[in-house]
Chains A and B, each alone.
Chain A
Amino acid sequence: MYKVVVPGDFISEESNRAGEGTYVEEGKVYAMKYGIVDDREEIKVVALSGKYVPTKGDVVIGKIVEISFPYWIVDIASPYEARLHTSEFTRNEREKIEFGSMGKYLDLGDLIVAKVMNVDAMIRVDLALKNEFKIGEGGRLIEISHTKVPRLIGRSGSMIRMLKEKCNCFIFIAKNGRVWIKGSEDEMNLASQVVLMIENEAHTSGLTDRVSYFLDSFKR
């Protein structure tokens, strides 16, 4: 059974176990965010909403919004924009990307899969490209709240595995809440419907079973 808390709610006396989404005052742990308490390992408050802030190592789906030599400025569904350096393309080659030719590699509006290489104190975000970096044509992108991503993946990937199997789609979930779905038109419709359903009902228990039932009822 889970417990919903609002900011300022007292959670526990064990201040040494205080984790994300909490703060400690006079040796007591209080909630800092509106969310659900998780005290399996440390005492955390899993937020129900909020904006994505990149951390090192996250894999995100970004959209090129600006070209400003020698960087591409990338929107990563966050209050902070990220940048991708041209050297990401030329690492093993002699050639250098010329001032005017950046658009040939990645143009405005292109979607990329990238890894957050570094986030500095000023929250300047540097990206590194993943091997399969460019998201090709065909398929669709849906955006959900990044707080719902763990639920969409499920415990050790159970939810997403089931979704991929039953919808027969390629599904890629990025840490920033962007989900890439590729398959036939009908399959994509079904998959995106289910993803949005999971987002809406992320806080309810027994969701995996309900999603499974829902998908089976479509199969007929």
Chain B
Amino acid sequence: MKEGEKEIELIKKGKRLDGRGFEELRPIKIEVGVLKRADGSCYFEMGNNKVMAAVYGPREMHPRHFQDAKMAVVKYRYNMAPFSVDDRKRPGPDRRSVEISKVSREAFDPVIIKEYYPKTAIDVYVEVLQSDAGTRTAGINAASVALADAGIPMKDMVSSVAVGKIGGEVVLDLSGVEDNHGEADMPIAMVARTDTITMLQMDGHFKKEEFERGLKLAMDACHKIYELQRTALIERYSKSVGEGEE
């Protein structure tokens, strides 16, 4: 919290500012295959976060000397639109987005089977259209669905969510205000099937017990998000089945 700012009461009568309980996710909406030109795409909403993920490839890697003779190279670009935040965000990559791109790419490292497409590149573009804390987790969720939609061979799907600490309480899925005025924020990404954590970052301080509780909250939430991702993918191909049954 910056100096001179007034302390905000983040918890009132056991509820958060947006009326959620401590262990409640923001509403999630997932749409698969929204971009015609991309090989795989996904539009993902998590509360006020709106992100679009597009996957291209595997395709020829340029420049050539970045090719890997044994496997595909995954490129991940997290980018915030200038209009995604209250003050205009200066367009282009910056320290923050480069870091997020890196950790997000590595969150997919254990699941993408890169050996199937040697010498190629798999491009993942994540565009944040509207931001309200936790965009990297929303981006990872969207990218995971988009990768599956592109037909990329993967061992598992990745799901992601953040936990944090506000007003001394450990809570799930921080909103923008909570993130700005809270005490800690910890985004995690994991494989829901095997409970393997593929990304974990922490900003702020947790006590050991709080960390453990937060981790448990986040992992449970990832299972829920995974189910939503899965349902979105499956429903896409069951919608048009009713007609013309064999």
Q: A7 — which chain B residues lie within 8 A by C-beta?
A: 111, 148, 153-157
Main secondary structure of the interface of A (DSSP, over half): loop
Q: A47 — which chain B residues lie within 8 A by C-beta?
A: 151
A48 within 8 A of B: yes
With A7-B156, A8-B193 given, is the CB distance from A34 to B243 under 8 Å? no
Main secondary structure of the interface of B (DSSP, over half): loop
Structural contact, A8 and B57, CB atoms closer than 8 A: no
Structural contact, B234 and A4, CB atoms closer than 8 A: yes
Q: A36 — which chain B residues lie within 8 A by C-beta?
A: 237
- Chain A to chain B contacts (Cβ below 8 Å), 11 pairs: A7-B156, A8-B111, A8-B154, A8-B156, A32-B153, A32-B154, A50-B152, A51-B58, A51-B59, A122-B69, A209-B244
Structural contact, A50 and B59, CB atoms closer than 8 A: no
Q: B57 — which chain A residues lie within 8 A by C-beta?
A: 51, 79
**CA gap between A4 and B32 in the complex, in Å:** 14
Residues of chain B touching chain A, judged by Cβ–Cβ distance below 8 Å, are 39-40, 57-60, 69, 111, 113, 116-120, 148-157, 191, 193, 229-230, 233-234, 237-238, 240-241, 243-246
Closest to B120 in A: A79
Of residues 79 to 100 in A, which have CB atoms within 8 Å of B's CB atoms?
Answer: 79-81
Partner of B60, one of A81, A201, A205: A81
Q: B154 — which chain A residues lie within 8 A by C-beta?
A: 7-8, 32-33
6 nearest A-B residue pairs (beta carbon):
A50-B151, A206-B244, A8-B156, A49-B151, A7-B154, A34-B148
Structural contact, A123 and B118, CB atoms closer than 8 A: yes
Q: B245 — which chain A residues lie within 8 A by C-beta?
A: 205-206
**Known contacts A8-B155, A30-B155, A34-B148; 8 further A-B pairs (Cβ under 8 A):** A6-B157, A7-B111, A7-B156, A51-B59, A79-B120, A80-B120, A147-B151, A205-B245
Q: A209 — which chain B residues lie within 8 A by C-beta?
A: 244
Structural contact, A6 and B148, CB atoms closer than 8 A: yes
Least distance between B164 CB and chain A CB atoms (Å): 28
A 136-174 binary contact with B (CB < 8 Å = 1; else 0): 000000000001000000000000000000000000000
A131 within 8 A of B: no
Partner of A205, one of B117, B230, B246: B246
**CA gap between A33 and B117 in the complex, in Å:** 14
Most chain A CB within 10 A, of B120, B150, B244, is at B244
A17 within 8 A of B: no
Partner of B238, one of A4, A32, A53, A147: A4
Closest to A201 in B: B240
**CA gap between A8 and B147 in the complex, in Å:** 13
With A51-B39, A79-B59, A122-B118 given, is the CB distance from A32 to B157 under 8 Å? no
Partner of B39, one of A30, A49, A80: A49
